[in-house]
């Protein structure tokens, strides 16, 4: 069956590509019966074609036509509202009042807020501003598309003014397109050949999707920025992007390269206090605003991971941020200044007290209150870097006279790169709902970033999305729930992740109860499942941090200056971040939180190894030991991932074929890769600690046959690095680039019956090898190693945890004594690597 999926994808009848995301406006099954409750006309108040109000009117008419098959006309009024039944009135509150509309009873709205009043076929959508009107229109359509035509009247206001998307797009690097750093949905939709694309259709479609979830700005280029962003041709191109964004109320921002004046050869310094540098930035900012009057502002990564910044000149981070802030002030622009500042070269693990997690609070120490009012400090949710679990960044508690925004990573860099299903809002909520207890008072992170807790007027949310030209935007249909939920939470962080998800499912697929229940349960289980088979108890995602950030490589965390250390040795594991004996990080929190993390007994199990260095035999609050928890969690996580494909399969015929097959392909891959993860981590810690698994599972695989122990011809054993990503540490590779290798075995100790035959192999990015499986010389399956292309995760050129994968041929009849043979044909320098086969009785996973 899987073979059919692998080869059948291209032949499926064209169905839905995912391009419309959650804005499909699919015809409702109950459409006809609802016709009488629907408007027939949209009246748009005072607007020009580039205004979001105009867009709102067209969207409503188009949506009603598409969802209900009912024609809805659009009219435009410049000052008078004709009496008319069955009409949707669309405009700003101000336009409505000046057209004679009665606004008594409508609550005061905040910037970008809206009033939505649905009374049968009479509907008012009134925004505080033009953008708010469009948000109201999308809210109305979201209700309709979910079959909700109830009478309602309410005002909705965003929790925070900053609701920005960051794209890490490069001007070049993805063939003719720009590449996207940590992007898994293809190359840039904004850049090609070192400049802005001529065709910006996708940019406009993106703005439409984002407007529908309340996003009001996009920073279009990588925080590792290029100075040429500020050259005239690129600024002209940026103007074109801003022009296609504008009808959707989405403003454009850019990331800056701090040393631009020098890098462009125009000055010999970039010292932020130098008069010529100050003038240079003012001048460039003027040039941008001449082209883009509603330009949102700058995003700045400074003195981090090799980027220049104010510290290069011994200036403070505040002096650096204020340089840009002052240039933007005349225009109302904002500087998003990143708190991700650390020294990645000089951290030394042999010093017990060195700790990258301390960096942000240390670098910003004493600067609170020194930033201009239009500076917002953009803080990653945790102190390291978007790991599967981190404590909340303590910096949020230190910025009381400075606005802050939380940076969330929608693109799943350390969380499976869109090849593993991970619905992120439950993770995000652990941070947004975290109470910092500043001055022993309630201080939820969401209250801090919205500005409410410390009375700031700016602040909010930055989501690193990194969509690409792939029709699914993020590379995976199910990953789009994360983008959708980011916008919804930025608007209202009190929402429940499951209920946001269900809106998304109804809009993206349909309201069938099986569809709703299946996708909800899988998605809500997905983060704990992934955490279970990757990195537990706050040890971080145990991925390869020196290469692709994708597959397992626990050893890569330590013995380098990057500071994502685990300090695992033969007896113990974890970072001691206590004040009394460790790096002191726990003391960066306000006292009530600090005391909780300082003590092992009050530290939650899921962050134990983040804060404490303990023996593997340390008992958790759950009663289990650390090491046994590792083993059990990895088995539980991988076991749950095995259920995803069959649960998804219950949706066949309930959703369109294309999306059904594409999702099934990814979930099947995830099930296989989760076993690679499980074994790599368990083997690594078993080998290190020598503590056996109480359940006897680790390094005990009764259903496996190692390739290196089969009869080999044209294949030769190969020692894999890291050893733990291959079963037994060894794979086989062809003896040359042109030799077909075979590995055969006689199944003499098997009971005749029906089995699933799983084959673990390595799909590197350097070739398209071809494998065939024979039973007694009869072909039972074959595949080409090109899933690295289809999947879009960071490619690997090596035999490692990123390329390790599994394919399963279910329901194979095997007789005792049958001969199983794998033939591997290399391609280029990819030597058809093979790890092992498993002959699995029904229901067994190994």
- Catalytic site positions: 305, 385, 413
Nearest Cα neighbor of 240 from 299, 192, 174, 185 is 192
Rounded Cα distance, 90 and 842, in Å:
59
Nearer to ligand GCV, 6 or 422 (CB): 422
CB of 385 to ligand GCV, least distance (A): 5
Task: Give the shortest CB-337-to-ligand GCV separation in angstroms.
Answer: 13
Q: What angle do CA 485, 487, 492 make, to 5 degrees?
A: 90
Contact criterion met (CB below 8 Å) for 179 and 126: no
Reading the block at residue 253, the tokens are 């921002």
Q: How far apart are the first and last CA of the chain?
A: 20
Q: Do residues 281 and 261 touch, judged by C-beta distance below 8 A? A: yes
H/E stretch holding 822: strand 819-825
Nearest to 15 by CA among 659, 505, 665: 659
CA–CA dist 219, 684 (Å, integer): 41
Residue 695: burial class (beta carbons within 10 Å; 0-12, 13-18, 19+): exposed
Q: Answer yes or no: are the C-beta atoms of 832 and 769 closer than 8 Å.
A: yes
Least distance from C-beta 402 to ligand GCV, angstroms? 20
**For residues 630 and 532, what is the distance between their CA atoms, to the nearest angstrom?**
8
By the 8 A CB rule, do 189 and 197 touch? Answer: yes
Name the strand (E) or helix (H) holding 128. none
Which of 668, 675, 665, 781 is CA-nearest to residue 726?
675
Give the gyration radius of the chain's Cα atoms: 28
Taking the C-alpha atoms of residue 356 and residue 564, their distance in angstroms, rounded to an integer, is 7
How far apart CA 227 and CA 281 sit, in angstroms, is 12
CB within 8 Å of 397: residues ≥ 6 apart: 436, 438, 443, 448, 589, 590, 593
Residue with tokens 């059904």: 660
The H or E element containing residue 53 is helix 52-68
CA dihedral sign, ordered 236, 239, 243, 248: positive
Tokens of 541: 């995602």
Give CA–CA dist 414/531, Å, rounded.
11
Give the separation between CA 727 and CA 706, rounded to whole angstroms: 7
How far apart, in whole angstroms, are the C-alpha atoms of residue 112 and residue 130?
8
CB of 380 to ligand GCV, least distance (A): 7
Asked if 474 and 411 count as a contact pair (C-beta separation under 8 A), the reply is yes
d(CA 741, CA 757): 19
- Output b/e per residue, 275-289; b: 16+ Cβ within 10 A: eebbebbbebbeebb
CA–CA separation, 141 and 458 (whole Å)? 29
Distance CA 304, CA 538 (A): 24
627 membership: H or E segment, kind and range: helix 626-649
Q: Measured over all CA atoms, what is the biggest interatomic distance in the chain, rounded to whole angstroms?
A: 89
Contacts (Cβ under 8 Å, ≥6 apart) of 77? 43, 44, 45, 46, 99
Interacting residues toward ligand GCV by CB under 6 A = 168, 181-182, 222-224, 301, 305, 340, 385, 413
In degrees and rounded to multiples of 5, residue 755 shows phi and psi of: -135, 155
Cα 185 to Cα 17, 93, 212: the distances in Å are: 13, 39, 21
Are 191 and 172 contacting, i.e. CB atoms less than 8 angstroms apart? yes
Helix (H) or strand (E) holding 522: helix 513-533
């Amino acid at each position: 069956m899987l073979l059919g999926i692998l080869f059948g994808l291209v032949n499926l009848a064209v169905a839905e590509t995912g391009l419309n995301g959650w804005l499909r406006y699919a015809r409702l099954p109950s459409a006809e019966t609802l016709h009488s409750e629907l408007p027939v006309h949209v009246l748009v108040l005072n607007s020009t074609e580039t205004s979001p109000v105009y867009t709102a009117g067209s969207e409503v008419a188009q949506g009603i036509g598409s969802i209900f098959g009912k024609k809805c006309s659009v009219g435009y009024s410049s000052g008078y509202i004709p009496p008319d039944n069955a009409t949707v009135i669309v405009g700003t509150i101000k336009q409505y009042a000046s057209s004679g509309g009665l606004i008594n009873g409508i609550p005061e709205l905040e910037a970008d807020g809206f009033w939505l009043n649905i009374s049968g076929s009479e509907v008012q959508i009134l925004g505080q501003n033009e953008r708010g009107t469009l948000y109201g229109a999308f809210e109305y359509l979201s209700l309709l598309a979910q079959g909700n035509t109830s009478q309602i009247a309410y005002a909705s206001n965003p929790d925070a003014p900053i609701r920005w998307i960051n794209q890490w797009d490069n001007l070049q690097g993805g063939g003719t397109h720009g590449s996207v750093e940590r992007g898994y949905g293809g190359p840039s939709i904004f850049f090609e050949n070192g400049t802005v694309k001529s065709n910006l259709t996708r940019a406009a479609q993106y703005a439409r999707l984002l407007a529908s979830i309340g996003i009001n700005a996009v920073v279009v280029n990588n925080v590792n920025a290029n100075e040429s962003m500020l050259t005239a041709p690129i600024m002209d191109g940026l103007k074109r992007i801003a022009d296609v964004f504008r009808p959707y109320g989405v403003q454009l921002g850019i990331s800056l390269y701090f040393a631009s004046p020098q890098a462009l050869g125009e000055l010999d310094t970039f010292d932020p206090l130098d008069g010529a540098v100050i003038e240079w930035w003012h001048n460039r900012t003027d040039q941008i605003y001449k082209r883009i009057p509603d330009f949102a502002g700058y995003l700045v990564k400074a003195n981090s991971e090799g980027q220049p910044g104010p510290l290069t000149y011994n200036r403070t981070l505040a002096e650096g941020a204020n340089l840009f802030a002052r240039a933007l002030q005349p225009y109302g622009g904002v500087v998003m200044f990143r708190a991700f500042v650390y020294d990645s070269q000089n951290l030394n693990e042999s010093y017990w007290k060195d700790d990258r997690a301390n960096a942000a609070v240390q670098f910003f120490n004493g600067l609170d209150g020194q930033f201009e009012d239009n500076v917002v400090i953009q803080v990653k949710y945790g102190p390291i870097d978007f790991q599967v679990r981190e404590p909340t960044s303590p910096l949020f508690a230190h910025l009381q006279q400075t606005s802050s925004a939380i940076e969330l990573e929608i693109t799943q860099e350390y969380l499976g790169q869109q090849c593993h299903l991970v619905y992120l809002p439950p993770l995000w909520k652990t941070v947004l709902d975290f109470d910092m207890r500043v001055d022993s008072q309630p201080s939820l992170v969401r209250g801090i970033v919205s500005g409410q807790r410390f009375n700031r007027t700016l602040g909010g949310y930055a989501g690193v999305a990194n969509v690409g030209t792939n029709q699914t935007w993020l590379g995976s249909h199910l990953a789009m729930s994360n983008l959708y939920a980011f916008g919804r939470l930025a608007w209202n962080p009190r929402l429940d992740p499951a209920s946001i998800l269900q809106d998304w499912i109804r809009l993206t697929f349909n309201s069938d109860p099986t569809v709703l229940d299946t996708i909800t349960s899988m998605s809500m289980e997905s983060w704990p499942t992934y955490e279970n088979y990757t990195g537990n108890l706050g040890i971080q995602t145990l991925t390869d941090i020196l290469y692709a950030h994708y597959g397992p490589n626990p050893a890569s965390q330590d013995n380098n200056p990057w500071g994502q250390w685990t300090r695992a040795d033969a007896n113990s594991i974890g970072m001691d971040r206590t004040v009394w004996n460790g790096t002191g990080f726990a003391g960066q929190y306000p006292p009530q939180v600090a005391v909780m993390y300082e003590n092992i007994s009050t530290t939650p199990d899921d962050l134990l190894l983040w804060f404490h260095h303990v023996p593997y035999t340390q008992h958790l609050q759950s009663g289990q030991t650390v090491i046994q928890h590792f083993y059990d969690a990895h088995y539980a996580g991988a076991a749950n991932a095995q259920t995803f494909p069959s649960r998804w399969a219950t949706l066949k015929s309930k959703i369109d074929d294309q999306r059904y097959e594409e999702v099934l392909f990814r979930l099947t891959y995830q099930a296989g890769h989760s076993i690679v993860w499980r074994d790599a981590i368990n083997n690594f810690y078993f080998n290190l600690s020598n503590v056996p698994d109480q359940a006897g599972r680790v390094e005990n695989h009764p259903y496996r046959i190692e390739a290196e122990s089969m009869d080999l011809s044209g294949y030769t054993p190969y020692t894999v690095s890291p050893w733990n990503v291959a079963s037994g540490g060894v794979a086989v590779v062809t003896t040359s680039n042109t030799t077909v290798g075979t590995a055969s075995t006689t199944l003499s100790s098997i009971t005749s019956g029906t089995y699933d035959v799983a084959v673990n192999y390595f799909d590197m990015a350097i070739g398209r090898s071809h494998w065939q499986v024979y039973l007694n010389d009869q072909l039972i399956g074959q595949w080409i190693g090109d899933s690295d292309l289809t999947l879009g995760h960071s490619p690997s050129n090596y035999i490692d945890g990123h390329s390790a994968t599994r394919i399963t041929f279910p329901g194979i009849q095997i007789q005792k004594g049958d001969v199983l043979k794998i033939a591997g044909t290399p391609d280029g320098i990819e030597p058809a690597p093979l790890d092992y086969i498993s002959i699995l009785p029904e229901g067994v996973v190994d």
